[in-house]
Structure 1
Amino acid sequence: MARRKWLLTVCLFCLVGVFLVGCNSGEEEDVAGGEQTQESGDQEAGNGGHEKEEVTIKFHTHGNETSYNWKETLAAFEEAYPDINVDLVILSEKGDTQEALQKLDLEAASGAQLDVLMFSDPASYAERVGLGMVAPIDDFIEADGFDVGEEYKVDTILDGSYYALPGKFNPWYVLLNKDHLDEAGLEVPQDWTWDDFIAYAKALTTEDRHGTFFHGPQNGGWMEYMKLALAGKPENTEFVKEDGTSNFDDPLFRKTLEIRVKMEKEDQSATPYTDILSQKLHYRTQFFNEDASMILIGSWMNTELGGTDQFPLDFHVAVAPYPKNDAADEGGFAPVTTDYMAVAKSSAHKEAAYTFIRWYTTEGQLVQGRNVPSWNGVTEDEFAAIIEGILAETEEPEKVDIDSLIRVLTNAKSSKIIPPVSYQAEIYNVVNEEYEKLIYDQQNIEETIAALQERVQEIIDSNQ
């Protein structure tokens, strides 16, 4: 109930904010539905067009300068489009996505200028679309003449419309302390299963460290750690299936719970969940301080693999692919994160905002050079150059097994994207709550699955 009250409050604030902006900026029609603004009527085919008069758009993001190289990236855009100035608003200097979302909601409620919005996960993206904060961009995409599913590795469609284009392509992988592997006589895996992962973690566990560290779930976030086995298949990897029904009866969800219980309770090869919360442990410190030998994490870590000022590297690092469920399964499937680049519904410069997100998610990714792009227009040579450039910015790139990194990233693939439901965050909170009951020994796996099926079905029914 508290969650719903919060959502209603934010929604009301956003509506007030949109109303105030509408009053200040004059009459404006939505781009969707066939009624275009004057500026969208000036579109130029091939790039969505851009405004003839000089404008300044506000770009709100969770990404900081270190991780996103904004100065160089925005300078390149403004050189290509001299009539569009980008005013960068970094919502969290430490890159905290939750802090950024809270500040973005406050900005929307206050009626601040919003033009380009960046979301870091499908739940926050879908939720803000549901709150009316984001504008559809179908007309711009149609004018540009491309298919999002073919142009990008991540398809961002939501309820039949496009509200964002994807930036980076960050598949999850397993970071390995290669020195620990050598001590245990273990090879860097190129093709392995969850059974292998469990065996590795047990072999790597000593009195001074755990074999692995699962950084979630936490406060309804980091749900990838509740989909360990689910994420290794080509479709229906979410808690809600494509047909809108819950997915907790999938045997691979049960397997995920079994993996978590076995590794923490039986093998004691995973850092205890109670320690994670009570000591506020973080995956970076656990890995770079050598308190955990393997970390399952997203490839946004590419920028830190060779060590940084904050997290020096005192060992050698290798990379392994996301584990498969069975040796005969097709490999490469993994959770994938991206930045959802969207146009604010309250923006008075939608065309300019779209021009920016289209450029940023294509050519801009090459200029930025911080991540593997979702854009399929990148060549093999450009891909290798991006990886080498990313590592070159770290303190000791020679300690990273670059061949294993390129091999994993080259072979990674995204499962079929299921458009997130607008109430996905509410489901995440329920999954988090029921998992904690399981890991705190308040219920068993059967009871956990039964409770999830009942509670999530109630959420689905209430949103029909």
Structure 2
Amino acid sequence: MKRSRVFLAVTTAAALAGVLAACSDSDEGGATGDGPVTIRLLEYQQSRADVIEQLIPEFEQAMADEGKDIQVELVTDILTDEQFRTKITQQFHSGTAPDVIDMGGSHVTGFAGAGYLLQLDEYLDEWDAWDEYYEPVKDAARQVDGHFYAIPHEASVQSLFYRKDILEQLGVDTSQPQTWDDLIARLEQVTAQTGQPSIVIPAGTAWGGGTWSEGFLPIVAGTDSTFYDEETGRWTLESDGLSATFDLYARLTEAGLLPVEDLLNPNPWEPTKYVKFPEGTLPVAAQGTWGWRYDWGPEGSAPIDGVQEKVATWDYPALVPGTEPYSISGGGFVYAVNAESEHADAAVELAQWLSSGTAAAEQLTAIGAAAPRSGIADIEPYKSEPTLLDAEAKVATSIRAPFGDGADQVSQAVQSATESIILGDADGEQAASAFAEDAAELLGDALVEQ
């Protein structure tokens, strides 16, 4: 991964220096026209900050047209996800966090549970656009207490991306595979002709959390087996679906279809998704909507010339009897409001404006994400992105992967178990047993279904 650099930038007011300052101490009012208000918005990814910087003057003008004097200071602090989590936690604790924070939806549960985020239910109930959000997106945003603490402004769909051009050259069927048996037969055709692995699904410890969120979880989620019960807050660590998923990893490994050597590389995404998939020598990859931009787009890590013509997607095939092919509704970034913000109304108004109309269309296009709601598909520049429109069409019917308290511990156990498979130290049954034991120990009795 590229080395992160940290700096601060400013938009409409004056340049900021040093660490993030405390929430705005400007005059009360603004959202109701009673006086000027300044709110601060944090972005920790450069591509997001770049598009937001262009949108802020439009928001300020829109507010002025309504008789509201709301100014926005953009704080750009370029961080990895882990650095962001650490730093913003410290700022919440010390009372120095900005008013609005743009972050991955997976961060919300912990911050909301700690009382750092403003509950948004009343705002959303009064916001007409909330009715336009797709149900899987709403379900994912709803926290375990039944409330909402963030506004999703993008969605992703996880699918199997494949090199249509390469498979056609090899005479391999490119229609939607209905079952994993069907897909494996095609992968074996590819490997027989090339002598190389033909699919990459994150596995092992080197890929870290990606093994869980981009590899294992999308597969087990489609097996119809209960994995995490949101009502009880407990994990089921032994099931037919879990066994079938570990067996699948073992089958792919034993058949030479997974790139084991690459998966054991310190940065396994580089030889697989950044070299061999773009080359066409590893023609199938588990991936999310973000791949169209961040990985293989013109400004991505490994651009594929003519990516929209050469690459296509399959839904995940059915793994167990009684199930159908599916895509996984992945999370996206959300706007959350600091519970201690002195200007909560103005902060929410900014979050809602950025999640609507042209502002939303421009962000989605810049990031390479699907719209989490209807009403954006006919707005340029998003309107001219067929891959994103296709992903949005799947959002409404996609499966939402289970995710709850203890996910980090379950992820750790999945990484270890899949590593034992690709190393040849365990078959599927042995890996499933080791996973159940390790996850139970890491989670503790309170989080495990007995």
Residue of structure 2 equivalent to 1:368: 363
Of 198-207 and 339-348, more deviation after overlay is shown by 198-207
Matches within 5 A, 1:218-367: 218-224=207-213, 225-232=215-222, 239-240=228-229, 242-264=231-253, 266-272=254-260, 275-282=263-270, 283-303=273-293, 305-308=296-299, 311-314=302-305, 316-325=309-318, 329-363=323-357, 364-367=359-362
Structure 2 CA distance for aligned equivalents of residues 330 and 356 of structure 1: 40
Q: Distance in 1 between matches of 2:266 and 2:379?
A: 44
Shift of residue 108, structure 1, vs aligned partner: 3.4
Q: Residues 361 and 375 of structure 1 are in contact (CA less than 8 Å); yes or no, is this contact kept in structure 2?
A: no
Query: 8 Å contact 2:179–2:325 — kept in the other structure?
Result: no
Equivalent in the alignment of 2:58: 76
Count of matched residue positions in the alignment of Structure 1 and Structure 2: 405
Of 180, 193, 198, 2:184 maps to: 198
Shift of 1:339: 1.4
Structure 2: gaps spanning 5 or more residues: 1-20
Q: Which residue of 2 aligns with 1:57?
A: 39
Relative distance call for 1:51 and 1:345 in structure 2 (3 A) is farther
2:169 paired residue among 183, 206, 210: 183
Name whichever of 214-223 and 125-134 sits farther off: 214-223
State the alpha-carbon separation in 2 of the partners of residues 197 and 61 from structure 1.
40
Distance 1:367 1:409, change over 3 A: closer
Does the Cα contact within 8 Å between 1:332 and 1:412 map onto a contact in 2? no
Q: Which of 383, 386, 401 lines up with 2:382 in the alignment?
A: 386
Deviations 1:83-116 (A, max 9, x none): 33332333437xx433433333344355433211
Amino acid at match of 2:38: T
Does 2:416 match 1:433? yes
The letter of the residue matching 2:178 is: W
Deviation, 1:281, is 3.5
Q: What are the Cα deviations for residues 343-381 of structure 1, in whole angstroms up to 9, with x where unaligned?
A: 1223222222211222222223124341321022335x4
Q: What residue number does 2:3 align with?
A: none
Cα offset for 1:256? Answer: 1.7
Separation in 2, partners of 1:436, 1:50: 57
- Is the contact made by 2:249 and 2:428 (CA closer than 8 Å) also made in structure 1? no
CA contact (8 A) 2:329 2:400 kept: no
Secondary structure in 2 matching 1:72: helix
Secondary structure at 1:161 match in 2: coil
Partner residue, 2:15: none
Correspondence for 1:85 among 67, 71, 82: 71
Within 5 A, what are the aligned runs for 1:445-460?
445-457=428-440, 459=443
**Percentage identity across paired residues of the two chains:** 18
Query: What's the CA shift string for 1:111-132, capped at 9, x where partnerless?
Result: 433211223242x221222233
Q: How does 1:143-222 map to 2 (within 5 A)?
A: 143-144=126-127, 153-155=136-138, 156-158=141-143, 159-190=145-176, 192-205=178-191, 209-216=196-203, 218-222=207-211
Q: Distance in 1 between matches of 2:33 and 2:275?
A: 46
TM-score normalised to structure 2 length = 0.76
- Asked if 1:127 is matched to 2:118, the reply is no
The alpha carbon displacement at 1:209 in A equals 4.5
Secondary structure, in 3 states, of the residue corresponding to 1:348? coil
SS at match of 2:360: helix
Secondary structure of the structure 2 residue equivalent to 1:69: helix
After the TM superposition, list the runs of 4 or more consecutive aligned residues in structure 1 that deviate by more than 6 angstroms.
Answer: none
Distance 1:165 1:237 in 2: 27
Q: TM-score, normalised by structure 1?
A: 0.74
C-alpha offsets along residues 228-279 of structure 1, whole Å, 9 cap, x if unaligned? 432336x767545554332333322222212212212x12111116644435
Q: Is 2:202–2:263's contact at 8 Å kept on the other side of the alignment?
A: no
Distance 2:318 2:328 in 1: 11
Which residue in 2 is equivalent to 1:105? 89
Change beyond 3 A, Cα 1:414–1:227: farther
| CA displacement, residues 170-196 of structure 1 (integer Å, 9 cap, x when unaligned) | 111222222311221124324533223
Structure 1 pair 163/297, CA: closer, same or farther in 2 (3 Å)? same
Q: Does the 8 A contact of 1:246 with 1:456 survive in 2?
A: no
Cα 1:169–1:275 change in 2 (3 A) is closer
1:154, distance to aligned residue in structure 2 (A): 0.3
CA contact (8 A) 1:174 1:321 kept: yes
Aligned CA RMSD, in angstroms, stands at 3.7
**CA deviation vs aligned residue, 1:20-77 (integer Å, no higher than 9, x gap):** 969x969xxxxxxxxxxx86xx9xxxxxx66643322222234322797223333332
Letter in 1 for 2:116: M
Q: CA deviation at 1:153?
A: 4.6
The answer as to whether partners of 2:100 and 2:335 remain within 8 angstroms in 1 is yes
Task: Tell me the alpha carbon deviations over residues 285-328 of structure 1, each in whole angstroms, 9 at most, x when there is no partner.
Answer: 44224342111111122335553375332575231222231697
Partner of 2:372, secondary structure, is: coil
- Deviation readout 1:180-224 (Å, 9 max, x if unpaired): 112211243245332233233332236575312223463334523
Shift in Å at residue 138 of structure 1?
Answer: 1.8
**Change in CA separation of 1:436 and 1:242 when aligned onto 2, cut-off 3 Å:** farther
Aligned residues of 1:154 and 1:414 also touching (Cα < 8 A):
no
Change (3 A) 1:310 1:299: closer
